[in-house]
Chain A
Amino acid sequence: MLTPRNRRELRKIGVGLLFISPWIVGFLALNLYPIIASFYYSLTRYSPISSPRFIGLFNYEKLLYFDPLFIKALTNTLYFVVFAVPLGNMLALALAVLLNQKVKGLSLFRTIFYLPSILPLVATSIVWTWLLHPQYGAVSVIMAELGLPIISWFSDPHWAKPALIMMSMWGTGWMMLIYLAALQDVPQELYDVASLDGASLWRKFRHVTVPMISPIILFNTIVGLIGAFQYFTEAYIITEGGPGDSTLFYSLYLFQNAFAYFKMGYASAMAWLLFLVILILTFLIFRSSAKRVYYHGN
């Protein structure tokens, strides 16, 4: 027997579920089912024209032990993550700190730094191809003026990745905006007290600013990390993985396996390994930062 109280409770659950029902449908159809299906596919040989055939862990074994391109794609991606995420983060924080100095023209500067991060990547990728053209690109002109050697950027296996990292730093504006909002929330009194103690600018930054915004640094690092592991569009448009596989990134190789070679099972195994790597790294970052991140009230 339901008491009136229970009945009311049940009714409320019903109302709640009704309101969130779009999300429930989305969760089941766009998240839960695909995750399970992806894992199942990863254990099969599967091309769109045939049905999946179960082959156990064969795809994973092949990836880890017999596919040099996979290892190449993984190391390329790690290279990209290791440089692009911290450099983008540091540039974003530096820009935010500069903007927070109450300089003139704040909103103009903010626009200039933020805008590149919301522009369509296909268009900006084409622009960068042209910008870094070894002979006719603007960057080459400037470097020649400064007496620097000419670099072939996207057509040089050693410089293609740094060039893409540079481009990704150009798109760091969204992070800057998040840092700026966080910096404006740091109480001025803390700086005043530090000034009374004779703290230098650097010490104020290091011992007031950084601890106060540490949750945001953690947030930006993790969001940046997840994004960098899925780096795709720029490499697809600008370099198509070349030269010499130097920009064959994980997502690009995964995409090629799935939609160019139609190895859906193999690509699914790649996706699951990526998922695991991201989960483990996020977990490690959370754990190692636990003591360093400071959460103040509210």
Chain B
Amino acid sequence: MFANIGIKRTNINNTVSFVLLVGLSAAFILPLFWMITTSLKPIDQLLLDPPVWIPSPLEFENYPNALEAQPFLQYLGNSLQIAVAAVIGALISNSLVAYGFSRVEWKGRDIVFVLVLSTLMLPYHVVMIPLFVSFSKIGWVNTWLPLIVPAWLGHPFFIFMLRQFMLGIPKELSEATRIDGGSEWILLTRVILPLCKPALATVALFQFIWSWNDFIGPLIYLNDRSLYPMSLGLALYHNSQGITDFSILMAASTMAVVPIIIIFFFMQRVFIQGISLTGLKG
């Protein structure tokens, strides 16, 4: 009898949770729903008071119009190139560095590793100005290099994550290869990295999103419109537009958001894994 009451109570809890979740989901979806529905509004339905939730007819022309209003396809292409270049760099550099911090034993390693982690605390604004001065001295302003090269030099978050992952691989695996006369390089590329695929996927994914979403970097470094990534192109377009262009603006925003949503749906498991890989569990 008591067991029954217990079951009923968990059912009620589950129902309450479910209802709450549905309500909160609606609130979380609202901005994106509003973005998509506005992007499909014909101009005469954009400024109705009260606004319409779902326009009829749907105006798909807003998308080609957005592509004409600004070279958004070029911006998307630029974003893609920057992000891919950064991802390649992040995969190579963080693998090497994490290997040095986990599979090679050397004096002082763990002290240096604390230094790696401590740089996570450093606000970007402290390094922003000297970096700008340095990069302009070597002629990197108005190029993509300041947005790409730092990714080739490792990031503490990725180093930490890959290190944790590599530490979890049994030592005996390395010993066997070393006895066979294999060098550390062969060990890394043939043995360790193939085992790190889930962690590497997480690195690639997060670096891609960071590069894709980065705004302050392009804002500081890029002047030529032909070099703009999506984030900067969209911001400038937003600043130059009045209220009547919101359906086109929403179409452009949708185009900036959709690649990330697609990637998320295809790699959902990797995202979720990323969290546990960092060892952030209680």
Chain A residues within CB distance 8 Å of chain B: 9, 12-13, 15-23, 25-27, 29-31, 33-35, 37-38, 41, 48, 95, 98-99, 101-105, 107, 109-116, 118-124, 126-131, 133, 135-139, 141, 144, 170, 177-178, 180-182, 184-186, 201, 212-213, 215-216, 219, 226, 229-230, 232-233, 236-237, 251, 254-255, 258-259, 264, 267-268, 270-272, 274-275, 278-279, 282, 296
- Which residues on the B side are within 8 Å of A212 (C-beta)? 282
Within the complex, what minimum Cβ distance (angstroms) separates A182 from chain B?
Answer: 4
Question: Known contacts being A27-B115, A29-B153, A126-B253, is A38 close to B126, with CB within 8 Å?
Answer: yes
In-complex Cβ contact of B25 among A112, A133, A135, A233 (8 A):
A112
Within the complex, what minimum Cβ distance (angstroms) separates B3 from chain A?
Answer: 12
B50 touches A9 (CB 8 A): no
Within the complex, what minimum Cβ distance (angstroms) separates B116 from chain A?
Answer: 7
Residue ID in chain B nearest A40 by CB atoms:
B130
B21 touches A99 (CB 8 A): yes
B280 touches A219 (CB 8 A): yes
Question: Known contacts being A101-B13, A112-B29, A144-B50, is A122 close to B128, with CB within 8 Å?
Answer: no
Size class of the contact patch on chain B: 35 or more
> What are 21 A-B contacts with C-beta separation under 8 Å?
A13-B106, A20-B97, A20-B101, A22-B96, A31-B119, A31-B122, A31-B127, A34-B126, A101-B17, A109-B25, A115-B264, A116-B31, A121-B215, A122-B230, A123-B253, A123-B254, A124-B253, A126-B249, A127-B250, A181-B275, A219-B280
- Which residues on the A side are within 8 Å of B176 (C-beta)? none
Within the complex, what minimum Cβ distance (angstroms) separates A122 from chain B?
Answer: 4
A282 to B121 Cα, complex, angstroms: 9
Q: B interface, by DSSP: helix, strand, loop or mixed?
A: helix
Quick one: CB contact mask for B252-282 with A, threshold 8 Å, 1 for yes? 0110110011001100100110011000111
A122 touches B130 (CB 8 A): no
In-complex Cβ contact of B280 among A34, A109, A181 (8 A):
A181
Within the complex, what minimum Cβ distance (angstroms) separates B259 from chain A?
Answer: 9
A233 to B34 Cα, complex, angstroms: 21
A20 touches B96 (CB 8 A): yes
A35 touches B126 (CB 8 A): yes
- Which residues on the A side are within 8 Å of B234 (C-beta)? 120, 122-123, 126
In-complex Cβ contact of B121 among A34, A116, A180, A226 (8 A):
A226
A135 to B51 Cα, complex, angstroms: 9
A122 to B231 Cα, complex, angstroms: 6
Q: Is B209 engaged at the interface, CB distance under 8 Å to the other chain?
A: yes
- Which residues on the A side are within 8 Å of B281 (C-beta)? 181-182, 184-185, 216
Residue ID in chain B nearest A167 by CB atoms:
B31
With contacts A118-B264, A233-B215 known, what are 19 further pairs, Cβ within 8 A? Answer: A12-B104, A13-B106, A15-B184, A16-B104, A17-B106, A23-B159, A27-B116, A34-B131, A103-B21, A112-B29, A120-B215, A122-B232, A122-B235, A127-B32, A127-B253, A136-B243, A138-B33, A236-B235, A271-B123
- Which residues on the B side are within 8 Å of A104 (C-beta)? 18
B31 touches A103 (CB 8 A): no
A255 to B219 Cα, complex, angstroms: 11
Within the complex, what minimum Cβ distance (angstroms) separates A53 from chain B?
Answer: 15
Within the complex, what minimum Cβ distance (angstroms) separates A225 from chain B?
Answer: 11
In-complex Cβ contact of A22 among B46, B93, B257, B260 (8 A):
B93
Q: For A9, A118, A123, A124, which residue has the most chain B Cβ atoms within 10 angstroms? A: A123
Q: Is B14 engaged at the interface, CB distance under 8 Å to the other chain?
A: yes
A138 to B131 Cα, complex, angstroms: 42
